[in-house]
Structure 1
């Protein structure tokens, strides 16, 4: 009876995993990443990969993750209890010896040189990259050291660059150690001629480069933005805020 219960419960666990893989997929996560992270949360292994930030940075995924962690902890207790009962009631010494013998045979097979060679060839076969650049958190792509800064600069009426182009507002901008990725104006994204486009009040300028240079050149605009947006989380990743810098 214990064996049947364990089998049924393992089926339930597999179904729960697949349900959450689908749910994570519906939030925009790739199926390969979803399955690995779901199993990781379910088993409580806590892999600290860059992929895990895809879960933490999304409110719906965090709620799903909370359920998986709790369900995994409960399931572990049920499984351990069931296995303990099964071992004490039904497993004889002869069966233990059979299991032990099978494990020793597997270990002996892995010591054979031809088996090692075959497995090495299998493991080192070129695999498809599961995580594309677009799936990684922003800091994994842009922020490679403590000197990097990614800035979503909101422009207000008092900002020094309003009604000017960046070329006019900042001397020798082409020689400075940062780039303008794009300018966001409502639903419009400006990527062409960003240095020669007149800045309007309400624009968002996305900058990337040396932290010290950006903070120096845009100090006045940053100070104004921080005062205006002091009650809004300053994170480019949640699309509301302003400054994201490397924590490495």
Structure 2
């Protein structure tokens, strides 16, 4: 009987763990249904077979949540299987085996009823949300994902090393906007944060810049070093951005003409 109690306890803990993970994933910006599916997939080891898997593995907080779920899931499955085997191996006879089987079904049915009860569902959601916000630093929304609007554009953190091209420059001197890179914020080495920095903001060594732009261009900027080569790379990046703007303007003009055929007729 102790094995049966242990089995039901493990199943209860599994439901609680996946529920906490669901709420945590929801706090990072996933829809509740997606969060529930991803949490259960990770815990059971079923894998990710949906287009949402990329949104999960590319987000560091979600990735940590699912890694923990996978680890707990492996331990939980082993415990469930061993408890299930012990529950029926230790039965004295067919009658005892049947009674334990019925108790197991009744216990699982009760847990499912409680898990699907709307009042209990709302209560658990509030408690889990309060606890996660109180004792964790999970981001409320995946802003990097929201800003990854199309194609190769996205958000990237860039740590400024002393030998980098950006080090010891004013933001206006760097001219990053002319390269198509927007500085959303700067995390200083002393943990202070500069939001929406202006042109007079000084870029210091060991700062972390939060940048938005074309990811290949941001990656090149991250590897750019001070000196003549760095200045040349800056001019090339500006020229590339100007070319992209010209192509975009041509495309917009073409779209206007396609949407207004009367202009062509005149």
TM-score (norm 1): 0.48
TM-score normalised according to structure 2 size: 0.46
Of Structure 1 and Structure 2, the greater helix share is in: 2
